Structure 1
């Protein structure tokens, strides 16, 4: 279907909802294509291609709402969806905060082309994806010490999205993505280690080379061979840029309006208070070109715009959709996200933490003796208190230099205390939707040997 076809489809859904007795409604249509190829040991292991269309309808009957979805666009299905949704809404409890945006809240203009969300070059052939995956695998196998490649994968996806509502909003856009990844293995038996590298971009021309990805996967894996447990105690910890965004992710989750309105956020009493070191800003910008988190509008038809979540270390506001904004008596921030099968909920777009002046090597040198974390497994995060505990692996640092690889250790602390003391490096990758550099935390509890 073309974008105009998706627009017509959502209008059909809205018309059916009105005929079925809905007071208001919104509809979403998503049409997607995906191609993926996996190779192993120099041969094709799996290839898949899929095409699908999904539709979703949310209806309101008074202050009651219900959501239904389907993958069939026939007139009969559309009519049945509308009748089922209205019947479900009639049985739902009243929600005083549910409802569409007022017409004066809606965005009326946007520039999708400026966001560069769609690579107009032709969809890559499966043979081309296979060639990229095999090139990455071959590069990894060239690294001395790599014994095998667990998997090398390449993929492409494209989605056309259209949203319409009975309040007058109607708009859509197209998004593409292209990815390549490689997982290498080194060592044998109980000393076996693995690591990965990969890249995902909107435009094929921006993707890192297969050789670069495979070589990096191999080198990262070999560096982990011979890992042992580090000592137990309190030590400084550097979160490598690959995983540092998870720390900021915990802050974003706690500042999500859904958590705050339920009273289940360790930040619920910290609006207007310091949550990061003075001088640091955390910026959300959904208007960046060629960036995965960019959106011309949110899932409720509201304008998306740049905002400071944390300014000079101080938390300035929550991330809000319409319903949670109404619960909290605040204005929505244009952060509603949704799929076809559920109503909107708050979500963040592109996030960037201010960079520091030091390199990652500078942080490692300055911390003296401590842990460089390059991967994490498992998590025990208390959303109410911010108590933090995670299994980690990485490199042990002595006298400011990497000494040996480590695994089977746990780091622990309290998120608010950790975040208030972070020292950022300057190594963040600017094309990601979460641009966060390596982060030093001067002291954490480490459980090892």
Structure 2
């Protein structure tokens, strides 16, 4: 079976067999992917790989019990065994009072055209040229002394979902990427940095030479990095890392976390959790979006949704199970693989741009810290306590000056959200995006 073939009949047959074997309800999902990747280092090829894979998952329900079985073997014999195992497991697992398919009235019936599939598969020679141009441009930057390599890739994935209560849907998406990481300096004074670009369509990919040049310039600028003193000051997040704050927010409003009572925002629905004017949106229907999809993983209709309006929290992010636990309706955010039940996640999540330029955002800072990369996950989802390793630059009188490394930025996400100011420079580079963000009153720790 290939992406040109329709797996719907296979999934419908699985569900029919599951119901014949005793299942009250079932759904089945099929994933197929094709990928091509090239890597080189110092101008020499390190790999050129192509992969093709099929994966199928069957979920069956008997009363309030559910079981999920997956397989990469799509032979008739294997799929017959898959049904038998799933039904047998569903008879003996503990009950889950919140499992179950959607009501038929909730199912999506019309799917928008999101334009997320590039019909052209690039030849291997094009990927090789992208990686070559990217690495050469990075190495040509004065001060770059070594390379950690460059990669270029392409992939195409097809997803099909069929449920026993009448949903049938499928879509396909593509992705092109190019990036490199290089080293500057010598001995103990070496620094490294990277840059990359990802896009649905190859024509929308950033120029590989520009990507490489940016990686080289970022790296050289890090030479002479110092460990900072510990102090309290404004911290500004570069767009390359600012989206991490949105991910922490998305985790805090995830339905399962709210249902368990393990989120620092669990009692804040309808209250101000961000500064005035802040808007956070999730849009699964964004054309060419890296996280776009025409329906959710339970067959529900999805659509653009304001999670935060004027700083006020509007909704949780829910699938059917977590919505039932909370006595609410799903927000159409279910996602899933083939071997686990659906769970909620965002799609194209972004913070709307503010009204101040990046230059003006920095210009009002006498002394601060500009973050360009982060490491570690010192986040307490229950309390909101936040502490992460960071590198970046000292801000002095509105300008970036001394490079900083071996630093830690700390605060509490509840306070950070309320003291956050976005710049007007939002660009859509990832599935989660935010503009440059300034947060006053954080702790920078070093020596």
TM-score, length of structure 1 as denominator length? 0.98
Deviation at 1:203, TM superposition (A): 0.3
CA contact (8 A) 1:291 1:431 kept: no
Deviation string 1:302-324 (CA, Å, 9 cap, x unpaired) is: 00111110111100110000010
Structure 1 stretches of 4+ with a deviation exceeding 3 A read none
Structure 2 match to 1:120: 119
Select which of 290, 293, 310 maps to 1:292.
290
Aligned partners of 2:403 and 2:247: how far apart in 1? 26
CA offset at residue 295 of structure 1? Answer: 1.0
**Partner Cα distance (2:138, 2:372) in 1:** 19
Specify the SS of the correspondent of 2:290. Answer: coil
2-side partners of 1:262 and 1:151: how far apart? Answer: 44
**1: CA distance between counterparts of 2:3 and 2:151?**
29
Secondary structure at 2:170's aligned position in 1?
strand
1:370 aligns with 2:368: yes
Partner of 1:68: 69
Gaps of 5+ in 1: none
**Unpaired segments ≥5 residues, structure 2:** none
Partner Cα separation in structure 1 for residue 429 and residue 373 of structure 2:
21
Query: What pairs up with 1:21-420 in 2 under 5 angstroms?
Result: 21-112=22-113, 115-121=114-120, 123-420=121-418
How many pairs align?
446
CA contact (8 A) 2:3 2:32 kept: no
The alpha-carbon deviation at position 370 of structure 1 amounts to: 0.8
3-state secondary structure, aligned to 1:308 = strand
After TM superposition, give the deviation of residue 3 of structure 1 in Å: 5.7
User: Once the 2 structures are TM-superposed, how far is the Cα of residue 4 of structure 1 from its aligned partner?
Assistant: 5.1
Q: Specify the SS of the correspondent of 2:35.
A: strand
Structure 1 residue matching 2:7: 3-state secondary structure: helix
Return the offset for 1:430.
Answer: 2.8
Shift, 1:435, TM fit: 2.6
Please give the secondary structure, in 1, of the residue aligned with 2:60: strand
State the partner residue of 1:446.
444
Aligned position for 1:434? 432
Distance (Å, rounded) in 2 between the aligned partners of 1:290 and 1:431: 11
In terms of mean alpha carbon deviation, does 207-216 or 19-28 score higher?
19-28
1:2 shift after superposition: 4.5
Distance in 2 between the 1:34 and 1:45 partners? Answer: 17
- Aligned equivalents of 2:62, 2:4: Cα separation in 1: 29
CA contact (8 A) 1:16 1:78 kept: no
Contact 1:367 1:442 survives alignment (8 Å):
no
Given that residues 283 and 308 in structure 1 are in contact (C-alpha distance below 8 angstroms), is that contact kept between their aligned partners in structure 2?
yes
TM-score using structure 2 length: 0.98
